[in-house]
Amino acid sequence: MKSAHPSGTRLRVANLLDDCSLGGVTRALGVFEAEALAQIADASTIVVPPTAMVAPRITADVIITHFPPNWRRLALLASLKLRNPKARIIHVEHSYTRAWEAMHVPSTPRFRAMLWLAMRLVDQIVCVSHAQAEWLQEAAGINADRITVIHPYAENPGLADLPLPEPGERLQIGAYGRFCEQKGFDVLIAAFRKGWFPNCDLVLGGFGEDKLRLRALAGNCPAIRFTGKVDDVATFLQSCDVIAVPSRWEAYGMVANEAREAGRPIMVAPVDGLIEQAADAGQVVDFTDEASIEAALGTMWSANLHDIAREARASVRNCHETRLMQWCALLQSVPATPRREGQPLKAANALPAPSPSAFPCAPHRPTAQHRPAPRPDAVDRRRARSAYRHSPRRNPY
């Protein structure tokens, strides 16, 4: 792998986020701290408020957007391209998937029209799974050569060194992540309550807005145990024989990736990027169907469990190096702009602050004393637009 940009100049890369809370997106940015990429790119992170419609001017060769597009953000993406005409714009799609669309979009044609427009305001698209890439080509009418598939990158030391599972009399099935609708833990708990996991214990780790609801759903079931927030992934995985990922949608699914690194077979829901992770590493399971669970457990309980665990670990061997090479190849294809030595990456009129009121590049609004009086017909149009915006039936896309 080459360790420098072909021009001999480090690229200036700006990662644009609209949310800095801890999660898969912010963890994935750790790839730019790796030595191999640091030799190619001088990376920085800029926070853009969710309500911003005017993009900042950025001194960068590459601008990478990490927020999902919507109708409001079309203006932001258009201004990003207009105000930074020399920068190559790469969009990483972390959120939208086929399963997400099926669950959340009331008007598919309208949503896909927005995607069609948004994907034509960027130069290159990075998808985090092959399933997502196939769906996006269909949904937004994108040629395959504009999409690069790079699985998310996040390091968790110690996973590759864990001993393979040695199940006892009861199989320890672990599940962890944010307690929210997406992760589908309520479906997994319901299956345990129905007795569909005989001779198994469920070890649930995590936190989130659905914590009380999930505990109430579990009730006094002796087979279900909550461990709280998972601060040490390796320690949690060491206590499990198998990892279940019952998500309702999942662009990739870092939990499944981490489980494979730890040599834990996986049971994953039949959605999006989870399916391609199972392969030889576990089973695709419909957690709402007893027969599907029974078939998967039959495989897990057999003498093949140790072999599956070994295959799971082998399926992600050198995955971090592979993803680094992919990012390096993508960035090395971008021409670097000559600059003075030590010239920093900067964004004009942009602040790394999530508060819209603190973001000075928001659209200018004149004060009341300088604002001309509107014509009567303009007032009527404004009232009509305001009523439409606040209508409960309005489609958010």
At 43 the pLDDT is 92
Q: Which residue has the higher pLDDT, 320 or 284?
A: 284
**DSSP letters of 69-135?**
--HHHHHHHHHHHHH-TTSEEEEEE-S--HHHHHHH-S-HHHHHHHHHHHHTSSSEEEESSHHHHHH
User: Residue 179 in contact with residue 205, Cβ under 8 Å?
Assistant: no
Query: Which secondary structure element, helix H or strand E, spans residue 383, and what is its range?
Result: helix 376-389
Q: For 272-316, how does the pLDDT look when each residue is reduced to its tens digit (9 = 90+)?
A: 999 999 988 999 999 999 999 999 998 887 668 888 999 999 999
pTM: 0.81
Amino acid (1-letter code) at residue 332: Q
Average pLDDT over residues 126-139: 97
Distances (CA, A) of 223 to 149, 197, 214: 39, 9, 14
Residues 213 and 99 in one domain: no
Residues 126 and 169 in one domain: no
At 31 the pLDDT is 85
∠ CA 345-16-27, rounded to 5°: 105
At 22 the pLDDT is 52
**Residue 113 forms part of a structural domain:** yes
**Residue 4 forms part of a structural domain:** no
Give the position of tokens 């030799």. Answer: 39
Residues 21 and 130 in one domain: yes
CATH number of the domain enclosing 28: 3.40.50.2000
Residues 135 and 182 in one domain: no
When divided into structural domains, the chain yields a total of: 2
pLDDT band at residue 5 under the 50/70/90 scheme: low
Domain extent for 85 = 11-149+337-358
**Residue 243 forms part of a structural domain:** yes
Residues 123 and 211 in one domain: no
**Residue 324 forms part of a structural domain:** no
Q: For 215-246, how does the pLDDT look when each residue is reduced to its tens digit (9 = 90+)?
A: 999 999 999 999 999 999 999 999 999 999 99
Residues 45 and 101 in one domain: yes
Q: Identify any residues that bridge with 88 across adjacent strands, giving them in sequence order.
A: 62
Q: For 146-199, how does the pLDDT look when each residue is reduced to its tens digit (9 = 90+)?
A: 999 999 877 788 899 999 998 888 999 999 999 999 999 999 999 999 999 999
pLDDT of 25 > 80? The answer is: no
Residues 47 and 179 in one domain: no
Considering the chain, what is the average pLDDT of its residues?
84
pLDDT of 12 > 70? The answer is: yes
Average pLDDT over residues 265-269: 96
Q: For 355-380, how does the pLDDT look when each residue is reduced to its tens digit (9 = 90+)?
A: 333 333 333 333 444 444 555 454 45
Rg over alpha carbons for the chain, rounded to the nearest Å, is 24
At 168 the pLDDT is 84
